[in-house]
Amino acid sequence: MNSIQAISYPVHFQDKGYNSLSNLIAENNYSTLFILVDENTFKSCYPKFIPNLQTDKRIEVIEIESGEINKNLETCIGVWNAITELGGDRKSLIITLGGGVITDLGGFVASCFKRGIDFVNIPTTLLSMVDASVGGKTGVDLGVLKNQIGLFANPEMVLVDTSYLTTVSEREIKSGTAEIIKYGITYDITLFNEIKNNKDLKIEDLIFRSIEIKNEVVLKDPKEQNIRKILNFGHTLGHAIESFYLESDDKESLTHGEAIAIGMVCECFMSAKLLGFPAEKVKEVKDLVLSIYSKTALLTDDFTGIMELLKHDKKNVNGQVNFVLLKDFEDYKLDCKVQEDLIIDSMEFYNA
């Protein structure tokens, strides 16, 4: 697979990625390599990763606990302390080996440590391959509020090795699939149709095209002033639903993809009501979502809590929630204001 050139760094695939990483390390003469993992990627991915790395530099592994619940400042402090105790300096390199929590948090840790050290992302889940590891967003959650603390910072390179996908569950693969569906709906409907028709799906091709799309969008608008907002389609309500399930003791958490899949159905419904997005396409999206993800019954009693969390979305300005909605597939309108009643109707539509 060819490499993709992002704003200031390459995205390399498979073996070429390992060679490039070894070269990058030699050329920059890093003092120490800190590999950030969680207990799962340490067990399942690190043994595959390490023989591919050609270097004589000192390597230190830092392990954090897996899960969105640990994507917070407390975990960052633990990592900063570990790097400090292990003698990290400005010429240290952090290599993130994991899913979205590891790449988001690791990039943030690197960007703040001693005012910024280099980092390389090696995503091991579908979600982090097609979304989190590319585009320069780093950060952590504040309580259950998603990605409230963070900054834009680019890695030195991204290495995508799709063989890591054999280490993750089907539920995780489905979580990442939601982001591919998002690229399809908002930018390139062929991706949506390929998943819908589900014939001879080649995951490598879906990943490559998804990264290409994300990169095209980010190159046009790195700091999310305009077109990059389309990458938030389904995420405005989806994040609120995800946070609500994260903070509810009596509910099993949803994966990011499960939550934004619901968000996409709801936001298609709002799009139909406000922008004339065709009703048959709303149905098409809902049918596809329900064919992949089991239905989550959103309780009427929970709507108030979800609406409360919606007020913290990062796109909000002056207390007003801003949605990205669709006039059609691949045709969007940014910064749409939506009345509370319609948001609630959209959740009822998902439930129906």
Q: Which residues of this protein are in contact with ligand GLY, per CB under 6 A?
A: 131, 135, 137, 228, 231
Q: How far is the CB of 29 from ligand GLY (least distance, A)?
A: 31
Q: How far is the CB of 104 from ligand GLY (least distance, A)?
A: 10
Question: For residues 71 and 228, which CB has a smaller minimum distance to ligand GLY in the complex?
Answer: 228
Question: For residues 231 and 306, which CB has a smaller minimum distance to ligand GLY in the complex?
Answer: 231
Phi and psi at residue 136, in whole multiples of 5°? Answer: 80, 10
Question: For residues 62 and 261, which CB has a smaller minimum distance to ligand GLY in the complex?
Answer: 261
- Pick from 274, 252, 287: nearest CA to 346: 274
Q: How far is the CB of 214 from ligand GLY (least distance, A)?
A: 7
Each as own residue / partner, the long-range contacts of residues 318-325 (CB below 8 Å, 24 or more positions apart, any chain) are 321/236, 322/236, 323/236, 323/237, 323/267, 323/270, 324/186, 324/229, 324/230, 324/232, 324/233, 324/236, 324/267, 325/267, 325/270, 325/271, 325/274, 325/275, 325/277
For residues 262 and 267, give the distance between their C-alpha atoms in angstroms, rounded to a whole number.
Answer: 9
Confirm if 86 and 71 have CB atoms less than 8 A apart. no
Q: How far is the CB of 134 from ligand GLY (least distance, A)?
A: 8
For residues 302 and 304, give the distance between their C-alpha atoms in angstroms, rounded to a whole number.
Answer: 6
Q: How far is the CB of 200 from ligand GLY (least distance, A)?
A: 28
The tokens describing 218, both together, are 């980010």
Number of neighbours of residue 346 by Cβ within 10 angstroms: 24
C-alpha Rg value of the chain to the nearest Å = 20
Q: How far is the CB of 325 from ligand GLY (least distance, A)?
A: 16
- Name the pairing type of β-strands 157-160 and 10-13: parallel
Question: For residues 137 and 281, which CB has a smaller minimum distance to ligand GLY in the complex?
Answer: 137
Q: Is 116 helix (H, G, I), strand (E, B) or coil?
A: coil
Confirm if 343 and 266 have CB atoms less than 8 A apart. yes
Confirm if 17 and 43 have CB atoms less than 8 A apart. no
Question: For residues 130 and 321, which CB has a smaller minimum distance to ligand GLY in the complex?
Answer: 130
Q: Which residue is nearest to ligand GLY (CB)?
A: 231
- Pick from 215, 216, 204, 233: nearest CA to 331: 233
Q: How far is the CB of 228 from ligand GLY (least distance, A)?
A: 5
- In sign, the C-alpha dihedral spanning 153, 158, 160, 166 is negative
Q: How far is the CB of 48 from ligand GLY (least distance, A)?
A: 26
Question: For residues 10 and 135, which CB has a smaller minimum distance to ligand GLY in the complex?
Answer: 135
For residues 254 and 245, give the distance between their C-alpha atoms in angstroms, rounded to a whole number.
Answer: 6
Question: For residues 88 and 234, which CB has a smaller minimum distance to ligand GLY in the complex?
Answer: 234
Question: For residues 158 and 272, which CB has a smaller minimum distance to ligand GLY in the complex?
Answer: 158
Q: How far is the CB of 141 from ligand GLY (least distance, A)?
A: 14
Question: For residues 12 and 137, which CB has a smaller minimum distance to ligand GLY in the complex?
Answer: 137
- In sign, the C-alpha dihedral spanning 286, 289, 295, 298 is negative
